[in-house]
Each structure stands twice: as C-alpha cells, then as structure tokens.
Amino acid sequence: MPACFIRFTVASGLLAVLAAIPALAGAQEGIDLGEVPEAVVVETLDGEPFDLASVIGQRPALVEFWASWCHVCLALHPRVMAAHEKYGDDVEFLLVAVAVGQDQARVRQHLARHGTPGQVLWDDRGAAVRAFEAPGTGFIAILDTDGRVVYTGTGTDQDLDSELARLVGQR
C-alpha cells in the first residue's frame, strides 16, 4: 500500500474524530430539553404507589436517578443537599432509586447514614428511567413549573444552583 494512501487514511480518520469531539463534549444525555416526561407511577420506599404527575408541573422539580452503590451519586450528594437546603421550600426534590444492585432495605440503610434531600422513590420496573431516558445513575433532570425539562446532567460537577436560582426567581 502506498505511503501517501496510508497517511491520507490516518489523517482522514483523525479529522473525523476531531470533528466529533465538540459534538460529543456538548452532547446532552437523557430526555430532550423542553420535553415533558411521561407521567409514570413508581413507589415510595414503603411500597405505596407514587404518581409523578402529583408533583411534576406543580412547581419546579429536581429529579435525580440514584443508587447506593453509585460513586457519582455519593460525590453529588453534598451538592444536592446544599441545593435542597437553599431551594427545598420552592423546588420539589425527587430521588429515584433504581432497582439495580440494591433493594429497598439497602437504600434505607444508606439514607440513614447520609441523609436525604426530599422524597425518595423506588423505580423497580424502570418506568421513571424510561420516561426520563436516564442514561444511568448520577443523572439529574430539572423541570420547570410546566413540567418541561430545562436541565439535564451527569457526572460529579453539575451546576444545579444556576438553573434552580433561575427557576425560583421566575416564580
């Protein structure tokens, strides 16, 4: 194979990867901004049905998809607790515990040690995960008073305060 063909092929591949980096860096995960998630029924940790429609769209809401074994969730916990302390009177905080690698007893034990900001829900059938198209644990969606998604994020360095301050300031 001629050397110029190999250089061209490698250069073309490198350009394709470099061109994709901005799109990947800004790629949104989960439900699209502006969408209203399907109203689904999950459970409380006591096994009682909980209809997300009873709170979503009533006031702003922060929804975190969470697990006791999730290192990202543990790192996010102080940030979510601080947001709850600051905005908890004006924003509904919903922690959706996924039923992967944990049971309700383990969730209760974890929360007893670390505390909880807001209502903890149990998504044993994955209904909320599907409704929010949650890519995994450590995923947060913030909804406005109309129930539209205005923020989604994953990872440990999420700026929850800016969006929550904007939403609370609108009220």
**Per residue in 43-71, pLDDT tens?**
999 999 999 999 888 999 999 999 999 99
How many structural domains is the chain composed of? 1
Specify if 26 maps to a domain: no
> For residue 91, what are the CA distances in angstroms to 16, 61, 102, 130, 159?
43, 5, 27, 23, 16
For the chain, what percent of residues have pLDDT higher than 70? Answer: 82
For the chain, how big is the Rg over CA atoms in Å? Answer: 19
> For residue 128, what are the CA distances in angstroms to 23, 53, 64, 81, 163?
27, 11, 11, 22, 22
**Per residue in 91-142, pLDDT tens?**
999 999 999 999 899 999 998 998 888 999 999 999 999 999 999 999 999 9
Specify if 159 maps to a domain: yes
Range of the domain at 57: 31-170
Instruction: Show the tokens assigned to 158.
Output: 């999420």
Q: Report the Cα–Cα distance between both ends of the chain, in Å, rounded.
A: 67
Specify if 155 maps to a domain: yes
Global pTM value: 0.81
Query: What angle do helix axes 71-87 and 160-170 make, rounded to 10 degrees?
Result: 30
Specify if 153 maps to a domain: yes
CATH number at residue 136: 3.40.30.10
Specify if 147 maps to a domain: yes
Specify if 8 maps to a domain: no
